[in-house]
Structure 1
Amino acid sequence: MRGTIAVLGLGEAGSALARDLTAAGAVVRGYDPAAPAPAGIVATGSEAEAARGADVVLSVNSASAAHDALSAGLSGIGPDTLWADLNTASPGAKRRLASTAASHGTAFADIAIMAPVPGRGLRVPMLATGPAAAAVAETLNALGAAVEVMPGEAGLAAERKLLRSVFFKGMSAAVVEALHAARAAGCEDWLRQLITDELTAANESTVERLVTGSHTHAVRRTAEMAAAAEMLTELGVPSNVASAARDQLAKLAKQPK
């Protein structure tokens, strides 16, 4: 079993993963220019130093730093070291990382973290794709992780995560905006209960009803959301989601039936 793991990025997620890996018996080498290594983690002075001697490198910093971390870390790794990028980035960005790794003879895995890490740590659900996906999953799962492997190139795991994000984060934005407006209108408790009831009652038919209804009633709903956006303006609440919904429905209304 691969027993030495490098963790690049020791923020909230990286530190939690590093601590759990250490507790599971792995030797963990960590590096973060802005954060000290937690107790039990071998502190290093650079990406290359952290990666030196590691069986698997986990890049858990940020999408904006992922390519620099890879470029800096590649000089320290051996021919059998696996590189796993756990950052939230676009599929295209993951493919570019995989290409850079491949040009140096390094096997790459795109790993998408599918739920919040706090409270779960290494047990957080993860999805892996790319050339090194199976090998990285085997290593991490043996240490207590929950990595599912999906066949295909790097970028597919990121694609699944971000498609999920469009739904969850989009819904979250709508709920936040609606409650903000309801608070301004003096009926937040009523709307909060309505939202709770709707989400609790959702079932398999809910998605089809939402999609079909948006297309079938696009003209009427465009006017409805225009009125809703106007109402939010009257309440002094920014209508970011309501206006976006209005514009999307207007486009649907123009599509041929």
Structure 2
Amino acid sequence: MTKPPDPKRWQIGLIGYGEVGRILAEDLRKQDVRVCAYDIKLGGGQSGALHEHAERFAVALAPSHAALAADADFIVSAVTASQAVAVAQACAAAIRNGCWFLDFNSASPGAKRRAAAIIDGAGGRYVEGAVMTSVPPYRIKVPLLLGGGGARELAQLLVALGFDAKVASGELGVASAVKMCRSIMIKGMEAMVIESFTTARAYGVEDAVLASLATTFPGIDWEKQGAYFFQRVIEHGRRRAEEVREVAETVREIGLAPWSSQGTAERQAWMADLADTGVFGTRDSKAFARSPDWRTEADRILDQLKRA
């Protein structure tokens, strides 16, 4: 009987060294798992912080997708949604035969199937992953749904590494469909709260609106939830907008016009554009945590609208 592989002896490659990639790197390195990472920003203005993080946690940095893929036993692709297929293509040229490829990206079922065809066609083993909530509070144990022919086998290996991985289906696209349909609601709520609360603030009726929401949905602390939504969109609106564009594509794939998703993507991107101009002050994530009042951010938006 063949002894199952020990995933803690793997060389794990992380494509994408943003918030999610760095969290995974930290938690894997705590277990002395070898980690290599690549990010297109390694050659840009943000490379200093990435190099500093990699040095602190003893993460090797690869010069390209192909260089990372050539040495990896297991690859996690955690990039912006629009790049999911492109990353699969970039890795396929050098991927090792039998190397696992976990697509962590918030892409449509159609995009996942296209990426799978590329990786499997090159000799890799593609599994789709759907991250079901925000990563930072849960870190490596964020609820993760897997899909594809190798999902069951990979799930056992991921659990051994500390992931909270469960199989959604042996059919590709099911896990991502769950994620995308959930995002219609969650990312849509973020956009609606920003629009509703900012407009209420402009008319001076925010307290009445929050009181009414509390009556209708007593299980939600709307003050706290509103602050959380504002800050997450300010900090991650660009990434969220790309995800919701994939959500809209998911809706289109069934023949339904994605009116709500398109509006959500536009609002998320609009907030990201404001953040890039410095309207909300520093983009340091620690600074966001120290400013939990959504009214402050709404006032900044309203002030910017007056200036426009």
Task: Quickly name the TM-score band, shorter chain normalised.
Answer: 0.7 to 0.9
Distance in 1, Cα, partners of 2:86 & 2:187: 28
- List gaps (5 residues or longer) in structure 1: 203-239, 245-257
Q: Which has the larger radius of gyration?
A: 1
Does residue 155 of structure 1 match 2:169?
no
Matches within 5 A, 1:76-115: 76-115=94-133
- Which amino acid counterpart does residue 5 of structure 1 have in structure 2? I
Distance in 2, Cα, partners of 1:84 & 1:114: 15
Structure 2 partner of 1:137: 155
Q: Is the contact between residue 150 and residue 170 of structure 2 (CA under 8 Å) also seen in structure 1?
A: no
- Compute the RMSD of aligned alpha carbons: 2.0
- List gaps (5 residues or longer) in structure 2: 1-5, 43-49, 221-258, 264-308
Distance in 1, Cα, partners of 2:84 & 2:60: 21
Q: Is the contact between residue 84 and residue 111 of structure 2 (CA under 8 Å) also seen in structure 1?
A: no
Choose from 3, 6, 23 the match for 2:13.
6
Does residue 16 of structure 1 match 2:57?
no
- Which amino acid counterpart does residue 29 of structure 1 have in structure 2? C
SS across alignment from 1:118: helix
Question: What do residues 189-218 of structure 1 show as CA deviations (whole Å, max 9, x unaligned)?
Answer: 12123223422358xxxxxxxxxxxxxxxx
- Which amino acid counterpart does residue 114 of structure 1 have in structure 2? M
SS across alignment from 1:148: strand
Distance in 2, Cα, partners of 1:96 & 1:144: 28
CA offset at residue 64 of structure 1?
Answer: 2.1
Structure 1 partner of 2:67: 49
**Structure 1 residues 197 and 143, CA gap change in structure 2 (3 angstroms):** farther
Q: Which moved more, 1:67-76 or 1:80-89?
A: 67-76
CA offset at residue 24 of structure 1?
Answer: 2.2
**Structure 1 stretches of at least 4 aligned residues deviating more than 3 Å after TM superposition:** none
Matches within 5 A, 1:150-229: 150-201=168-219
Q: Is the contact between residue 25 and residue 143 of structure 1 (CA under 8 Å) also seen in structure 2?
A: no
Q: Using the aligned pairs only, state the percent identity.
A: 34
SS across alignment from 2:144: strand
- Which amino acid counterpart does residue 177 of structure 1 have in structure 2? E
CA offset at residue 181 of structure 1?
Answer: 2.2
Question: What do residues 91-122 of structure 1 show as CA deviations (whole Å, max 9, x unaligned)?
Answer: 11001111112222321111011111123221
Structure 1 partner of 2:255: none
Q: Is the contact between residue 19 and residue 40 of structure 1 (CA under 8 Å) also seen in structure 2?
A: no
Q: Is the contact between residue 29 and residue 51 of structure 1 (CA under 8 Å) also seen in structure 2?
A: no
Q: Is the contact between residue 169 and residue 175 of structure 2 (CA under 8 Å) also seen in structure 1?
A: no
Distance in 2, Cα, partners of 1:177 & 1:20: 37
Q: Is the contact between residue 59 and residue 66 of structure 1 (CA under 8 Å) also seen in structure 2?
A: yes
SS across alignment from 2:135: coil
SS across alignment from 2:41: coil
